[in-house]
Amino acid sequence: MKDRAENELVLEGSHSDAILNPAQLLGKKLFFDTLLSNPAGQSCASCHMPKMSFTDPEGLPVSRGAMKTMFGNRNSPTVAYAAFTPYFHYDSIDQGYIGGLFWDGRAATLEEQAKTPLLTQHEMNNADKNMVVEHLMKAEYKDLFLSVYGQNAFDDKEKAFEYLAEAIEEYEETPEISPFSSKFDFYIKGQAQLTDEELRGMKIFNDTLTAKCASCHPTTPDPYTNAILFTDYTYDNLGIPANPELIKLDKNYKRDLGLGAIVKQTTENGKFKVSTLRNIANTAPYFHNGVFKTLEEVMQFYNSRNTGKFGPPEVAENVNQDELGDLKLTDQEMKDVIAFLKTLTDGYSPEVIVGIR
């Protein structure tokens, strides 16, 4: 992934007006190619479908693999806006980990992330990199691949696999994946108006003494990209309960330690990356284990986790006790916040452009 200071992605535009260069077009073809799995039938888009804001269209807590009897162990996160994610690193000032891809940050960059599902048994199930490249050499876009990376691109299969991941990263950095086309985006440009309910919800969302949402999902521009991304890319243990559906799918299920298992530190056990709230109304189920199916459930959890009505946290240590659990929001306030969250869904078309006659 490019250095964040150089990662100047286009912040405006839509799926229809995004112009892809050859490398980006190749990445798109790779992203949607169902012949890259073993057996054939699964692509990146199978678990990251555009119509579902680049999440799994089945709505299961975890996605099926190419072998349909096998399932992943975590909810598929959206790849929308993932290109803005900083490298995985430890911030000595804030004294916490930031950035990286996947729920636990184990891939430092988009390119690194793109490789993993291809070689994971419960995902695309290829035995090795050579098998993936053999698929590429038979693909209908083979000539495009050679045009982008050179006529000898397949001679070194290790290098060809790197090219594949690089091309997918190129595509994921385009406005097709990150269009910034929500009602909220038009609102901040003065081209749409929010309803009274949405405005109330935004005020509550930003209030650091009530809902506290913006503490981890800031509504201010990111200092590196100047984009409003609704995540600070930090890691947190929210006290999420175990999902019984996952335990049924895996007889060997063990509690998920998240970041703690990656950095080998017990102080990070149960922490998962703060996800973007862009398109959140379109990306159920929620959290790393898909335990909640609606935004209403999520709001109830944030508001009253400490009552015990949701069950004990799967990982009891390191639970955030400061920013959720007993917010004391009214039913109407929670409805207002949800109304605001729904303004973050891409694809909004304002009927009237404010200020233009």
Q: What is the pTM of this model?
A: 0.91
More confident residue, 3 or 100: 100
Boundary of a domain, candidates 172, 194, 218 = 172
pLDDT single digits (tens) 90-120: 999 989 999 999 999 999 999 999 999 999 9
Residues 319 and 201 in one domain: yes
Instruction: Give mean pLDDT, residues 26-34.
Output: 97
- Cα separations in angstroms, 230 against 150, 154, 181, 219, 310: 39, 40, 14, 6, 26
pLDDT for res 252: 86
Structural domains of the chain, count: 2
pLDDT single digits (tens) 52-79: 999 999 989 999 999 999 998 899 999 9
Cβ(313)–Cβ(265) below 8 Å: no
pLDDT for res 224: 87
- In a domain, residue 265? The reply is yes
Residues 39 and 85 in one domain: yes
For residue 29, the one-letter residue type is K
Beta strands in the chain (DSSP E): 89-91, 96-98, 235-236, 272-273
Residues 75 and 200 in one domain: no
- In a domain, residue 14? The reply is no
Cβ(172)–Cβ(83) below 8 Å: yes
- In a domain, residue 5? The reply is no
- In a domain, residue 12? The reply is no
- In a domain, residue 54? The reply is yes
- In a domain, residue 357? The reply is no
Cβ(303)–Cβ(334) below 8 Å: yes
- In a domain, residue 64? The reply is yes
Supply the DSSP string of 5-63, one letter for each residue: TT-----S--TTTPPPPHHHHHHHHHHT-GGGSSSS---HHHHSBGGGTSB-TT--SS-
Q: What are residue 240's phi and psi, to 5 degrees?
A: -65, 135
CA angle 31, 34, 35 (to 5 degrees): 110
Residues 239 and 318 in one domain: yes
| CA atoms within a 13 Å half-sphere pointing along the CA-CB vector of 279 | 26
Identify the top-confidence range among 5-14, 197-206, 247-256: 197-206
Q: C-alpha 287: how far from its chain's center?
A: 11
Residues 117 and 136 in one domain: yes
pLDDT single digits (tens) 264-314: 999 999 999 999 999 999 999 999 999 999 999 999 999 999 999 999 999
- Cα separations in angstroms, 258 against 103, 263, 303: 7, 9, 23
Q: Within a 10 A sphere around the Cβ of 39, how many other Cβ atoms? A: 11
Residues 143 and 231 in one domain: no
Boundary of a domain, candidates 139, 172, 205 = 172
pLDDT single digits (tens) 171-184: 999 999 999 999 99
Tokens matching residue 318:
């390191």
Terminal-residue alpha carbon distance, the chain: 43
- For 51-82, letters b (16+ CB in 10 Å) and e give ebbbbbeeebbbbbbbbeebbbbbbbbbbbbb
Residues 215 and 144 in one domain: no
Residues 271 and 125 in one domain: no
Q: Is the predicted pLDDT of residue 16 greater than 70, yes or no? A: no
pLDDT for res 356: 44
Give the pLDDT band of residue 352 (cuts 50, 70, 90). low
Task: Please give the Cα distance from 236 to 259 (Å, whole number).
Answer: 9
* Beta strands 89-91; 96-98: pairing state: antiparallel
Residues 154 and 216 in one domain: no
User: Percent of the chain at pLDDT above 70?
Assistant: 93
Residues 198 and 335 in one domain: yes
* Residue count of the chain: 357
For residue 47, the enclosing domain spans 22-91+109-172
Boundary of a domain, candidates 172, 192, 227 = 172
Tell me the CATH number at 113.
Answer: 1.10.760.10
| CA atoms within a 13 Å half-sphere pointing along the CA-CB vector of 252 | 2
Residues 141 and 217 in one domain: no
Closest residue by Cα to residue 195 from 329, 342, 334 = 342
Closest residue by Cα to residue 172 from 31, 18, 12, 34 = 31
Residues 137 and 225 in one domain: no
Task: Please give the Cα distance from 154 to 91 (Å, whole number).
Answer: 40
- In a domain, residue 225? The reply is yes
